[in-house]
Chains A and B, each alone.
Chain A
């Protein structure tokens, strides 16, 4: 008997509930449907615009990975193969040879090799590079700017909000299409 009494009350509540459920369903559907349509243009990854980068050093310290997923890369086509490389040698270096006291790189990640007097080749050992950008600043200031920083995507775990991007003073980080994940420097 008592069940019969409760019946109409329950149905009314259930009716409202299913109405609201339908509305919520439509809301979630509308919000995500539009975004899904746009997402077909492909996923994105983080990258540094080398033209904006000021080699401040944040890339080495703010990345959630230690060492950072940002490494120095070398646009060999731009490089002048200088004997005294401003990316390789400290300005106050006592001598122009490969001794650690002469090098700008704190981890000795740049390998210097003679091509033909007075031309030297500089290669980055990414296993050692910590992305501090000291060499980038040196090369950019006095040299050709052939050294620059890039997010290396074999390492980057593509955080939702890149911690370096949030700390970048030059607004140099941006999301780029995952199928074109690098912003390389080229010879003009």
Chain B
């Protein structure tokens, strides 16, 4: 109806309009459509260089120099550079999705700088432990600097919540591999803060007429509120995002477990004075095992049962994952459109959406859309099963780890949990003695 009225108006108006009428006068120069070039990517290569240099410095400060103060200074630098200056993007956490999409979609080109951002911290962690987390990651840095009063998370809760990163990683990979969404970028809690300050490329882009509209929170309010909550929590529970959410952290934990070198509380022999026991705000210091002579045969039955249960649980996980896959696939735009068209045709919903209208105007057969959607649903079914099996595997491996009794004589930084921040150094009297020896030049 609206269209019809508009059409009638146009008919009446066009009588008075010169449609395709006279030629333009010869003196008139036809203006060109301007095409401003993209911003130079030289800055992205500088970013990669800064990333590599910062990680090398962090490794030196954590492992060789053993300087907490130096690591803190580097943390603040990284927060300013990667966070506020570069606007929190590119970051290795989000690059998981680009790499995944690149592996699954041969038409998608992952920029070389993004690949470098993905691979460099993994490689560094494989050799030096999580020095990237320690002082280079801007997401870690912003939580690290607001940590005022660390509270202890009960071990059982920390282990349970510690499954979060693996679940998030699996979900992010599934969503990226199916080309549905980059959920890590959408749910980044800190990028809103980084972009509140008019600096760097972000600032250049936004200050178009001298005014700064960044304070207009608009659609970013929800994310900023989420970020504020995470920051508030991380004032008391150290690095809550890194420990219980970060999907890149899940990859780094695996790398860190097999690292060539790693942070030690003291390079000297531990005297078990217990002074470092509560030094770590992230609960990453393992105590010596209580009894000195733990026989390895203890808990053998439980271990055997768990190993036998492993394939069963993985299968159950896969089945459950398959069951929840329809809910996950609802995030995919093609599946949403197919559902919308189906509902509209069945008269279940009134009106239409822009996407449905575009589809109908394209005169593409509905069957084709449904086929495409069911193809994606099958991908989601497979992906959901793999995701479920993966989560079950992670849970079972964790249980198996609990059942393996290993003797530990000294206080040690946990290979996977340790973020190499260097806070424990100062608590160790052997370290103090060592520093004193160095000061006195012996």
Residues of A at the B interface (CB closer than 8 Å) are: 17-18, 20-21, 24-25, 28, 31-32, 34-36, 38-45, 54, 56, 61-62, 64-67, 69, 73-77, 80-84, 86, 91, 115-116, 118-119, 121, 123, 127, 141-142, 152-161, 166, 169-171, 175, 178, 181-182, 184
Q: With A and B bound together, what is the CA distance between A44 and B333 in angstroms?
A: 22
B108 to chain A: closest residue by CB:
A175
B3 to chain A: closest residue by CB:
A141
- A-facing mask of B179-222, CB < 8 A → 1, else 0? 00110011000000001000001100110110001101011100
B186–A24 CB distance below 8 A? no
User: Does chain A have a CB within 8 A of B143?
Assistant: no
A32–B36 CB distance below 8 A? no
Give the distance to chain A from B223, nearest Cβ to Cβ, in Å. Answer: 10
B99–A181 CB distance below 8 A? no
Stretch binding the partner chain, chosen from B15-23, B237-245, B377-385, B419-427: B15-23
Known interface pairs A21-B260, A181-B35. Does A39 touch B112 (Cβ–Cβ under 8 Å)?
A: yes
Give the distance to chain A from B289, nearest Cβ to Cβ, in Å. Answer: 15
Give the size of the chain B interface in residues (CB under 8 angstroms). Answer: 75
Known interface pairs A84-B13, A169-B353. Does A39 touch B109 (Cβ–Cβ under 8 Å)?
A: yes
- Residues of chain B within 8 A of A28, CB atoms compared: 119, 122-123, 126
A80–B355 CB distance below 8 A? no
- Residues of chain A within 8 A of B162, CB atoms compared: none
Give the distance to chain B from A12, nearest Cβ to Cβ, in Å. Answer: 13
- Residues of chain B within 8 A of A18, CB atoms compared: 258, 260
Task: Count CB-based A-B contacts (< 8 Å).
Answer: 176
B205–A21 CB distance below 8 A? no
Secondary structure dominating the interface of A: loop
Q: Which of A43, A73, A74 contacts B111 (CB 8 A)?
A: A43
- What are 12 of the A-B contact pairs (CB < 8 Å)? A21-B260, A24-B255, A28-B122, A35-B99, A76-B30, A83-B16, A83-B18, A153-B39, A169-B354, A170-B358, A178-B41, A184-B35
Stretch binding the partner chain, chosen from B90-98, B228-236, B302-310: B90-98
Q: With A and B bound together, what is the CA distance between A160 and B185 in angstroms?
A: 8
- Residues of chain B within 8 A of A184, CB atoms compared: 33, 35
B185–A159 CB distance below 8 A? yes
- Residues of chain B within 8 A of A175, CB atoms compared: 108-109
